[in-house]
Structure 1
Amino acid sequence: VFLVMYLFLQNFRATLIPTIAVPVVLLGTFAILAAFGFSIN
């Protein structure tokens, strides 16, 4: 995924930020769902 994003953006910093941000946001979302007792179903 990182390589494909880098090929399109052609900028290391512009590629690195979304590559780090997306998994962090997903983990935070699942943590909040679990904290409030919700499931993904």
Structure 2
Amino acid sequence: MWHPNIYENGEVCISILHPPTEDPQSGEHPSERWNPAQNV
């Protein structure tokens, strides 16, 4: 089964735990990160 937050080696990436900064390793922009103003 494939999941976008689970790597092949079993490690889990939970981007909501990272501060909303420009991190070249994450590939995400701060505007794409979860924040309390967003909802599903």
TM-score, L = length of structure 1: 0.22
Higher helix share: 1
Larger radius of gyration: 1
